[in-house]
Structure 1
Amino acid sequence: MPASLGPGPWAVIASAAAMTAIVGVRYLVTSGLFAWITGRVRPGIYMGLNRQIRREIGWSLLSAAIYGIPAGLAAWGWQEHGWTRIYTDAREYPLWWMPASLLACLFLHDTWFYWTHRWMHLPRPFRIAHAVHHASRPPTAWAAMSFHPVEAITGAVVIPALVFVVPVHVGVLGLVLTIMTVMGVTNHMGWEIFPRRLVHSRIGHWLITASHHHRHHESYRCNYGLYFRFWDHLCGTDRGLSSP
């Protein structure tokens, strides 16, 4: 378990500030890396988008602060009071629970994202908040966290809330956050990084990659999921792949 932050409100503030810094640095490093890869693999694809990219970075760093607050509260609650269901001893639950908890967290996150995302496309929430994200035309690797604060709040609460409900090993939680970060960035790069044989396979039929999410940025009223196409298929909102 990490070292105690100590009692009192300053410990909560310090935890939130630390998590804000971690989220911000994680965003800059990951988006920066994939933007660099994009420049090498697809030179010129972001040409003329400097102003848009600066705007995406600004909104994303504001989102990092919003994401950091509930994450910091959850970290403080875990360290100081054991409030969460995060565990560090792999023997505390059967080993099969590690992959099962990974899938559970991803599916629950995907479910929350799908329905809040559909809500964001109603006229009033879209005008107030979600239009910020869709101002990225086309999206770039820097757009993954480019959210209005209202939308950032809906995304920021879900993982901190899950750790109070789902028993999850700290290593599995780290993997959830890694998958969330990488998929959030790669789905917005404006080109498909994953092999065609995967994207067009039976497994790919159920996974969201840039080819699927780019269609959402083109057509708006479809392809709402984050990780999986389950809810899109079930609700008839899957419109297939684009050709980014």
Structure 2
Amino acid sequence: MEFLWDLARDWAVHFQRDLFRYLLATTCVSLAVSWLFRRWMDRRRIQRRRAGWRDIRREFSYSMLTLCVFATMGVITGILYDWGVVQLYRDRSLYPLWWNLASLPLVILLHDAYFYWAHRAMHHPKLFRHFHRLHHLSRTPTPWAAYSFSVGEAFLMAIFSPLAMILLPLHLLVWLSFLFIMIFRNAMLHASCEFHPRGWVDGPLDLLTTTTHHDLHHQRFHGNYGFYFTWWDRWMGTELRNYKQAFRQAAGREIEDSGEAAPV
């Protein structure tokens, strides 16, 4: 019984930490879009349609279910750490400085590749209904859709954590930094308003995805599978054809009162 109590307490700690990161990111992005920079963001809306409270309640409810899966995976990862399988460390002197600096971008690159192929696989007709259909109920997503997953998709997203720490030795601060970057990036991609400046897609930073890039995926239900970077979509020929045109429309001028969603 004491072992089960310890597991339950550990699960609650993981849930609280994941909930804190989720609420911090989604609240910050939501406030930026709907209050702090409302007039500016309204001119940068990607779609004519706006999500309603019913959409937000659904996204939040399923995100809570996802956090339960994440907390369960956190407990499993903790057990693997106790067994010496997971290479998470706290003492920076265990590895050279260059590794402590390079491991964060490396784990982001790994996550981007994992996300692209897992995301694309979930769009296979035999998998979509069971894994990814629920997330696509958010045709016009909000930041609260960041974790709006089915149980299957939540597990597929969560399993990256122990896999990454089995493969790579990662300092605790590096891993926490990655988790914060991931959830803030996720919330921004679902904001339905374009954050990036108009020239973004015409310069060297075009290798990074934008809100429009992911929003078009929600509109079209296929293509634009990448998370941080655009290169997998371009290498694999899955970037939507008129992405840059849609981005320039969202970032460059106010959507007309009678306008349609950005062209795809």
Normalized against structure 1, the TM-score is what? 0.88
Match of 1:88 among 87, 90, 93: 90
3-state DSSP of counterpart to 1:114: helix
Over 3 Å counting, the alpha-carbon distance change for 1:77 and 1:15 in structure 2 is: farther
CA RMSD, Structure 1 to Structure 2 (Å): 2.1
Letter in 2 for 1:216: H
Alignment match, 2:20: 25
Matched residues in 2 for 1:62 and 1:177: separation?
Answer: 18
The one-letter code sitting in structure 2 at the alignment partner of 1:186 is M
Distance in 2 of aligned mates of 1:222 and 1:48: 22
8 Å Cα contact 1:17-1:72 kept in structure 2: no
- What is aligned with 1:59? 62
1:218 equivalent to 2:214? Answer: no
Q: Shift of residue 64 of structure 1? A: 0.5
2:261 aligned residue: none
Q: Structure 1 pair 75/201, CA: closer, same or farther in 2 (3 Å)?
A: farther
- Of 178, 181, 186, which aligns to 1:179? 181
Q: 1: distance between equivalents of 2:50 and 2:238?
A: 32
> Deviation of residue 137 (structure 1)?
2.0
Largest Rg, 1 or 2: 2
CA contact (8 A) 1:109 1:159 kept: no
Paired residues in the alignment total: 236
Number of the residue aligned with 2:257: none
Task: Report which stretch shifted further, 65-74 or 180-189.
Answer: 65-74
The question of 1:117 aligning with 2:119 is answered: yes
Task: Decide which moves more: 9-18 or 31-40.
Answer: 9-18
Alignment deviations for residues 10-58 of structure 1 (CA, whole Å, 9 cap, x no partner): 3333222211121123212321221121112236778561101000000
Shift of 1:158: 0.4
**Greater RCO between the two (CA within 8 Å, min separation 6)?**
2
Between 177-186 and 161-170, the greater mean CA deviation after superposition? 161-170
Residue range with higher mean Cα deviation, 66-75 or 80-89: 80-89
Deviation of residue 65 (structure 1)?
Answer: 0.5
What runs of 5+ residues in structure 2 fail to find an aligned partner? 251-264
Q: TM-score with structure 2 length normalisation? A: 0.82
